[in-house]
Each structure stands twice: as structure tokens, then as C-alpha cells.
Amino acid sequence: MININEVIETNKMIEKENLDVRTITMGISLLDCISDDVDKVCSNIYKKITTLAKDLVSVGKDIEREYAIPIVNKRISVTPIALIGASCCNSVDDYVKIARTLDEAAHKVGVNFLGGFSALPAKGMTKSEELLIRSIPKALSETENVCASVNLGSTKTGINMDAVALMGRIIKETAFLTKDRDSIGCAKLVVFCNAPDDNPFMAGAFHGVTETDNVINVGVSGPGVIKYALENVRGKDFGVLSDTIKKTAFKITRLGQLVAQEASRRLSVPYGIVDLSLAPTPAVGDSIAEILECMGLEKVGAPGTTAALALLNDQVKKGGIMASSYVGGLSGAFIPVSEDRGMIEGVECGSLTLEKLEAMTCVCSVGLDMIAIPGKTTASTISGIIADEMAIGMINQKTTAVRIIPVEGKDVGESAEFGGLLGYAPIMKVNEFSSEEFIKRGGRIPAPVHSFKN
């Protein structure tokens, strides 16, 4: 049983070490909104979201005030829209109409992001999924709070290379349509391998079909807390280092569980999971890179970085699962470049490259995240980067993702400004040798042999 004393114990973490609850995300099933008329679907979606989530923001603020716990974001995830629109959407414009409805509903209830403008073509694309994917550039350029995601593969099914090739072109088009804002549309678009059904973090959140009708998921974050704890064990052996991370993650997760249970009770919505991912921000002292450097690396990206990140990720998970029976989502360490001051500095000084980031994704929570690349990068090169990341997820039976931003009109040496939690990013160099003939093959990369476990 969690009590207020545990919250009091974390006051120092909140006040001095940037501990926060990054998001309360309400998952909403839209399966009962399906109709053969797109206008009726939009009406059903708007009514359901604005009814179920009408108190989400106010309840979050009440919990913040009563427990003195910062809750940075209040968000919504919905059933993948490709499933909802299959019976009524016959064109790209039909899906854009649904995206606008989602945006209007998000504004009405006051959340900052709504995820689930999504498709799941891990093995093959339906007509509905292809239409939704093709609508993404227009949908993201004409909405403010809608986030899109596409699951392109899994350990069980392999990688859908037709969808991978298409997504390279979609990312380029999204970048072009939002070029006046440093191609920010791509910051609201992520592609996955092995996407989880209960992820509360944007841009990849959606309400999976395995979920109940309505659920509360919470994402906590505490890079600053971990860093502060490690400052006190400099020079100690790896056993001490590991235990320190694990014990700190335990406390962070307990805080998240308290918020999840309180939000669940007050909203009369079931509590789902706590995602204990360490999600950095551009704020000083709130960086994954700085944690790795605190372990003894001169700069993030130096030899040993992948090993340090593997240790961090594993101990965070171990501490979390001891603190809560319902840890889920992604849970580990995010390494977004634009949202992490230490990562940005690593790119700027040359210690951190795209290739090193890819190696790090083998052991972190997600993958290549919030990476700005030259606007001239070809669609096939972007698809090649995606394919590499999907392969890491498929072979290693883990979630991997790519959120990459080809910034129109900018090149290496310049930077892109996204604002807020999204931060800014130096444009990273990309290998310019072509993968076009590889991507053009189409079809599906088969699932690995260890997928056959029935």
C-alpha cells in the first residue's frame, strides 16, 4: 500500500533533481465508434473522447496540487485509426477528416497530445492501412496535437519492406509540408517494430486492441534523480553502481504508481500500467547522456557507452518491477537527441554519431529518436535507416523505433528548433552511399528462426 510518507520522501527529488510524472495518458477504445459513414464516425469519436476525458486535465492538476508532484503532460491514446476507418474511409481526405476531429477533441479536453493516428501493417498492408499512411503528411500538417505511428514489423512476422519503403517517402513528404516549422510534423511521427499496446509516451502511443475499453497509464521520468544518486558513488564498482540505480528506480516507480492509482480512482477508470522510462528533457541535469558520463565516460559516444546504457536500462527495469506489479509500455531509457542536452553536446563535439546511436539502440528502450538529418536525404536512405532499426528489434525480440526528421532546407552544421519538450537538434551527418536497390526489392524480410516458439 502506498502512503503519503513515500511521497514526502521524494520531495527532494522533485525540488532539486527534476523528478516528475511525465504523463498521465488515458487510453480510449474507439471500436464502438465504427460506422460506414465517415461523418458519423467523426461524430462518435468526438463525443466519446470529450465525454470520457472531460475531467482528465483537471484531475491531473488536482493531484499535482495535493501531492506537490509535477505532472508535465495529460494525454490521450486511442485505438489505431486504420482499424476504425476501414469501414468508412475511401480516400486520404476521409482520414484527414478523422485526424481533424481528433485534434478538435484534444483541444476541447485540454490535452497536449493525442496518439493513435496509427496503422499496424507488420506483415501486410490492408487498403485502409495504406490510405491512412498516405494521409499522414497532410493530417500532421493540418493538426496541432495529433501524433501518428506505424508498426512495420515484429519478431513473429518479420519486416514489411513495402511499408518500410512507403514510410521513407511519407516522412519526406511530412517534412516538406511542415518545412516552415523546421519540418516539425516528423517529430509527431514514429515507426515501430514490436510496438507495445500500452505505451503512454508520444509520439508512439496508441490504445491496443488487447486493452480494456478505457484505461489510465502513467509514464514517470527521473534522469536527474538517477544522476544525482550516481554522483555519490563515483569510483565504486559495478555492483554498487547497479544497486544504486535499481534502488532509485524503485522509488521513482512507486511515485508513478501512486499517481496512477489516484488518477484511476478519481476518474473511475481502470489503472493499466506504469511506464518507468527515463525520458530526458532539454533542462540542465535532466539528461541520459549525463548519467552515462557520470558512470565514467568522458563524453557520451565514447567506447563503453553501449555497455553503460545496457547496465542503466537493465537496472531501471529491475528496480521498477520490484516496485509495481504492472510495469509496462517501454520502460527503460530513452535516447532522443533533441530532448537531451547531453546528447546534443555529444553530437556537436563529434563524440556521438548516427552509427553509434544505432548501436546504443540495441540495448535501450526504443531506438533512433528525435534525430534531425539533412533535408536532402533521400527517401530510400531514410527507409534503409528504418530497416536497420526494425531488424534490431526483430532479431532481439524488443521494441525499436525511428523518429527521424529530414529538415527541409538545412544541412550538417545547422540546427532545427522544435520548442518545448521537443527541444532543438543539430543536423546529423548521414551515410550517403545508396541503399535504393535494396529498398526497391519490396516484399517481406522473413521472421527469424527463434520466432517459431509455438
Neighbours of 76 (CB within 10 A): 26
pLDDT score of 421 more than 80: no
Tell me, what's the pLDDT at 77? 96
Tell me, what's the pLDDT at 145? 95
Work out the mean pLDDT of the chain and round it to a whole number: 90
What percentage of the chain reaches a pLDDT higher than 90? Answer: 68
Tell me, what's the pLDDT at 198? 87
pLDDT band for 67, please (50, 70, 90 cuts): confident
The strand pairing partners of 27, in sequence order, are 77, 215
CA-nearest of 123, 148, 124, 154 to 392 is 154
The domain segmentation of the chain, as residue ranges, is 22-57+68-193, 220-445
pLDDT band for 276, please (50, 70, 90 cuts): confident
Q: CATH for 22-57+68-193?
A: 3.20.70.20
Q: Please name the fold of domain 220-445.
A: Anaerobic Ribonucleotide-triphosphate Reductase Large Chain (3.20.70)
Tell me, what's the pLDDT at 86? 95
Which of 57-71, 236-250, 369-383 is least confident?
Answer: 57-71
pLDDT score of 102 more than 90: yes
pLDDT score of 49 more than 80: yes
Tell me, what's the pLDDT at 85? 96
Which of 62-71, 208-217, 258-267 is least confident?
Answer: 62-71
pLDDT band for 289, please (50, 70, 90 cuts): very high
pLDDT score of 115 more than 90: yes
Segment (H or E) for 400: strand 400-407
What average pLDDT does range 280-285 have in this prediction?
71
Which of 177-186, 210-219, 255-264, 441-450 is least confident?
Answer: 255-264
What percentage of the chain reaches a pLDDT higher than 70? Answer: 95
Q: How far is CA 117 from CA 164, 182, 187, 204, 373, in A?
A: 17, 22, 14, 9, 24
SS3 of residue 307 by DSSP: helix
Contact call for residues 331 and 320 (beta carbons, < 8 A): yes
The C-alpha atoms of residue 202 and residue 193 are separated, in whole angstroms, by 16
Which of 24-38, 49-63, 192-206, 280-294 is least confident?
Answer: 280-294
Which of 145-154, 166-175, 318-327 is least confident?
Answer: 318-327
Contact call for residues 183 and 389 (beta carbons, < 8 A): no
Residue 107 class from Cβ within 10 Å (0-12 exposed, 13-18 middle, 19+ buried)? middle
What average pLDDT does range 321-342 have in this prediction?
84
pTM over 0.95? The answer is no
The C-alpha atoms of residue 61 and residue 63 are separated, in whole angstroms, by 5
Tell me, what's the pLDDT at 372? 95
What average pLDDT does range 335-346 have in this prediction?
90
pLDDT band for 406, please (50, 70, 90 cuts): very high
